Amino acid sequence: MTVFRPLLSPVAVLLVLSGAVANKAWLHDHLTALGGPMLGDGVEMAVAAAAWLAVAWLGSRLLDALATGNGRQGRPPRIPRLLSDLLRALLYGVALLAILAFVLGQPVTGLLATSGVVIAVLGFALRNMIADIFSGIALNIEHPYRIGDWIELAPGAAGQVDEINWRATRLITSEGTALIVPNGIVAGSRFTNFSSPERRFRVAIPILLDQEVPVARAKRVLLSALLCAEGVLPDPRPDVVVEALTPNGVAYQARFWLDDYAHLTAGRDAVATVLLEHLGRAGIDLARPKREFRPRRAPVPVPGALRRSLLRQLDLFAAFDDSEIAELGQAMRRRHLLAGDTAVHQGEDGESLFVIAEGVFDVQLAGEQGPVRLNRLRPGDVFGEMSLLTGQPRSASVVACTDSVVFELDKSHVDPVLRRRPELARQLAELMAQRQTRNEAARDRQGRGEPGPAAVGSQDLLARLRGFFKL
């Protein structure tokens, strides 16, 4: 009812004037008796003119009520501002013509013919502004964009639609500045609406890699980076495609989806950062222009360098010296998993851990409604350490999200090292206890429905480790 409250005043005025018009004969006789015929005729004409203006006033208020809808804050109007202004002007224009024709008795056709010449002269002088106005009318009728949409008129000219007025559209750019664009330019050019048909949209980052990098490996590394980037929507799933073959290398496109154009800069930054991180971890450089003349030294392959670097960055093996890390790295087995493969199954026996070299994995727990994802692992992460050191069954399933490469370290590989240095057992137990405490805290922060295995103290872990390795 609050929406139609502004209609009360024009309705009341119109009722009073309607009553006066209905009784104009009685009113004319009394006014003529008081002040003569001129007073009666003048008041009669004034009442009739006021009645026509009151009708236009009521129509204008009704138009406002229909345009604002239910009056909720932040909700776009049902009728655009430009169209409502035009309809309001039309109402008052019709009322003035009616007053001239029916109240004052003037010939309207002659007036319209005379004003046509003036309108033609003004139209020629203001043709650009008139084109903008009619373009604004077309834009308000077709609705190619609405208030709040993100549009791009030209490279570098993008913003969120803040207002569509008589002659221009105002955009607010991501830098917080206002961009005023005439409606004629918008209607006569091609533009992109990033908020239609839905708010989410896809972004592509071009990456040029050397031809020496196998395409399958490049896609695996780039896709794993996309799945680990903050702000990237998991559905639709990101992908990597070969865009072109160039003399300088293979051009890839890392394609991903964002939920809103307002997050474009932050999303591209997050993705580019993770892409460089994963490429650097995999030892892959961006391609250089082949015209660049630079002495190139053939890389000298270091056997087991990647395995040693993966082990050295794990805090679990911080107490091991370089020779022991090299021994374990040489003993590890390389495994290739396809997307959807399960590296370890929840509840199965195991005596090994896995270090992720390439790819992304999901840690899942079995639940009543299906698997529940606990965590996402990326290159450099490790899983299965409790099975390696204590022989306990796998506490969760680990499933490959992409084609992946992992290195497996078995109990038989660690046993000789622990027998030579039994003091490492205590340090491993303490590190494992700290890792379990951190994992429990992370699981509590995430609010997962199903609890994981309870954390075990370092002394209990030490006893299990010694018993498992028979130290």
DSSP 280-337: HHHT-PBPPPTT-----PPP---TTHHHHHHHHT-GGGTTS-HHHHHHHHHH-EEEEE
Helical residues (DSSP H) of 7-73, grouped into ranges? 8-22, 24-35, 37-68
| Residue at 216: amino acid letter | A
Look at residue 134 and give its three-state secondary structure: helix
Predicted confidence pLDDT, tens digits, the chain (471 residues): 565 666 677 777 767 767 666 666 656 566 566 555 555 566 667 777 777 777 787 777 777 776 665 445 445 555 556 566 767 777 777 777 777 776 666 666 655 555 665 566 555 555 666 677 777 777 777 788 888 999 988 777 889 999 887 778 899 988 889 988 888 888 878 888 998 889 999 999 999 999 999 999 999 999 999 999 999 999 999 999 999 999 889 999 999 999 999 999 999 999 999 999 999 888 899 998 876 555 665 555 555 788 888 888 888 888 888 888 888 889 999 999 999 999 999 999 888 999 999 999 999 988 778 888 888 899 988 898 888 888 889 888 999 999 999 999 998 888 888 888 888 888 888 877 777 776 666 556 555 444 445 455 677 877 887 887 776
Between the CA atoms of 79, 81, 82 and 87, what dihedral angle is there, to the nearest 10 degrees?
60
Residues recorded for the chain = 471
Using DSSP bridges, classify how beta strands 192-193 and 404-410 pair: parallel, antiparallel or unpaired. unpaired
What crossing angle do the helices spanning 424-446 and 458-469 adopt, rounded to 10°?
130
| pLDDT tens, residue by residue, 64-92 | 776 665 445 445 555 556 566 767 777 77
* Pair 406, 335: CB distance under 8 Å: yes
pTM (predicted TM-score): 0.65
Cβ within 8 Å of residue 402, ≥6 positions away = 220, 223, 224, 227, 339, 359, 360
